[in-house]
Amino acid sequence: MISFYPGPSRVYDQVPKYVKDAHAAGILSMNHRSPEFMAMMKKTLTLLKRKLSIPKDYTILFTSSATECWEVVAQSWITDKSFHLYNGAFGQKWYDYTRKLKPGATALPFDREAVLNPGQFVFEGTENVICITQNETSNGTQVSNELIRTIRAGNPQHIIAVDVTSSLAGVKLDFSAADIWLASVQKCFGLPAGLGIMICSPGAVEHARAIDNRQFYNSAVVMIDMIGKWQTSFTPNVMGIYLLMRVMEKVKPINAIHKLTASRYKNWMKMLDKKPTLRHLIRNEAVRSLTVLPLEADEKTISKIKKSAKENGFLLGDGYGDLKSTTLRIANFPAITDREIKALMKFLAGQR
Ligand SMILES: *Cc1c(COP(=O)(O)O)cnc(C)c1O
């Protein structure tokens, strides 16, 4: 079965070998306070910064999931208000979780066909948190680097937090334009689930230190202090970190990966142009995600394609939430091979 599911998704072919290597090298029972672990952590973070073009002065933290990162943002950075810019289910979930912890959370939804227009929203105060879902996995839309830069320029004192769970390591991101970039590894990293990543600007670190909330094992300041010693505040997913290190060693720098993602996206669009029964859910090309493709058809066609895909060895993503019966989603993640994409395109071309 070839997985085109947009998370958990296809892992890199080398992952089983890396797991074996991890066992042989004693990684699976490695002590997370040992010098060996600290060296592995240091190497992993250095590679992440180098391969993804993350500024050297940023701090990278590990959690267990992107959802946990949402909670850390709420607990460690939001003191008063947060503003949630979203157009789909993941952005809405982030807002819902935050609202339970911080009643000052404010929803600022926008239409999924619309280019986000930050000028139409009011971000009160000067030091609140603006939350943006950069790549909305549920409906296949994205917010551009340019737009995030515009929001940064207009709100220099606010902390800007960006959910890049289904785009980090798949497309080029301008980390200088925001303070907290959160994700997990079971999407564009081509790794098994169980590891969340939070990339923090010096401003975000300073802000967390000023607030100094130390109530939780995963309070940002506690994690920041620990990562200064190449450690974590809890026993982390050591194998996950090892696998991330191996994959980061192997993958090309993000500029090359971005090119691949963008050219594959173009090929998918070309293929869809020739397919009247199946079309991109999003009409506005300017807001389409490069990494998650939501395809729309009538209910009967969608269920037929899904069923037949399974019989032919392709696992396609279900539509999300209320789009479940009329859409399916295809991951355009780097671990998928050209051969697999060709095979799926051929299969879809033969469907009516
Ligand atoms: C998958 C996803 C999440 C949730 O990730 P977990 O690691 O399961 O917590 C959050 N946001 C977006 C945009 C996602 O695609």
276: pLDDT confidence band, cut at 50, 70 and 90? confident
Pocket test for ligand 1, best of 63, 137, 143 (most atoms within 8 A of CB): 137
Strands (E), the chain: 2-3, 59-63, 82-86, 105-109, 129-133, 135-136, 141-142, 159-163, 180-184, 196-200, 279-280, 292-296, 314-315, 317-318, 327-331
pLDDT for the residue numbered 253? 98
Atom number in ligand 1 closest to CA 137: 15
Provide the strand spans (E) within 134-219. 135-136, 141-142, 159-163, 180-184, 196-200
Ligand 1 center from residue 183 Cα (angstroms): 7
Q: Is the pLDDT at 352 greater than 80, yes or no?
A: no
What is the number of other CB atoms lying within 10 angstroms of the CB of residue 273?
A: 10
Q: Over the stretch 285-344, which tens digit does the pLDDT of each residue have?
A: 999 999 999 999 999 999 999 999 999 999 999 999 889 999 999 999 999 999 999 999
Task: Determine the distance from the C-alpha atom of residue 143 to the mean position of all C-alpha atoms in its chain, rounded to a whole number.
Answer: 13
> How far apart are alpha carbons 87 and 107 in whole angstroms?
10
The DSSP-derived string for 255-322 is: HHHHHHHHHHHHHHHHHHHT-TT-EES---GGGB-SSEEEEE--HHHHHHHHHHHHHTTEEPEEP-GG
* Closest C-alpha to 173, from 208, 149, 207, 140: 149
60 contacts: CB under 8 Å, gap ≥ 6? 45, 48, 49, 54, 197, 198, 199, 200, 227
* Closest atom, ligand 1, to C-alpha of 164: 13
**Confidence class for position 97, pLDDT limits 50, 70, 90:** very high
* Of 179, 150, 193, the residue nearest 64 (C-alpha): 193
Q: What is the whole-number distance in angstroms between the Cα of residue 193 and the centre of ligand 1? A: 10
d(CA 94, CA 31): 33
Note the pLDDT of residue 133.
Answer: 98
Distance CA(160)–CA(260), nearest Å, equals 28
Cα 320 to ligand 1 centroid, rounded to whole Å: 13
- The two three-digit tokens of residue 234, written as one number: 């809890």
CA 265 to chain centre: 17
- Residues 199-210 have a mean pLDDT of 98
Q: Where residue 140 falls among pLDDT bands split at 50, 70, 90?
A: very high
CB 291 within 8 A of CB 336: no
Q: Residue 27 gets which letter from DSSP?
A: G
For 216-236, the pLDDT digits (tens) are 999 999 999 999 999 999 999
Ligand 1 cavity residues, CB under 6 Å: 7, 65-67, 90, 133, 137, 163, 165-166, 184, 196
| Cα 241 versus chain centre, distance | 17
Whose alpha carbon is nearest atom 14 of ligand 1? 165
Round the average pLDDT of the chain to a whole number and report it.
97
Question: Burial letters for 27-66: b for 16+ Cβ neighbours within 10 Å, e otherwise?
Answer: beebebeeeebeebbeebbebbbebbebeeebbbbbbbbb
Share of the chain above pLDDT 90, in %: 98
pLDDT in tens, 160-195: 999 999 999 999 999 999 999 999 999 999 999 999
Residue-level pLDDT at 343: 98
251: left (phi over 0), alpha (psi -120 to 50) or beta: beta
Q: What per-residue confidence (pLDDT) applies to 226?
A: 98
Q: Using an 8 Å Cβ cutoff, are 131 and 161 in contact?
A: yes
Specify the pTM. 0.98
Do residues 143 and 284 make contact, with C-beta atoms less than 8 angstroms apart?
Answer: no
CA dist., res. 227 & res. 20, Å (int): 27
Per-residue tokens: 85: 């810019």
Instruction: Quote the CA–CA distance of 25 and 19 in Å, as a whole number.
Output: 10
Of 269, 284, 330, 277, residue with least CA distance to 300? 277
Return d(Cα 330, Cα 348) in angstroms, integer: 12
Residue 83: DSSP 8-state: E
Percent of the chain with pLDDT over 70: 100
Dihedral, 51, 265, 292, 337 alpha carbons, nearest 10? -70
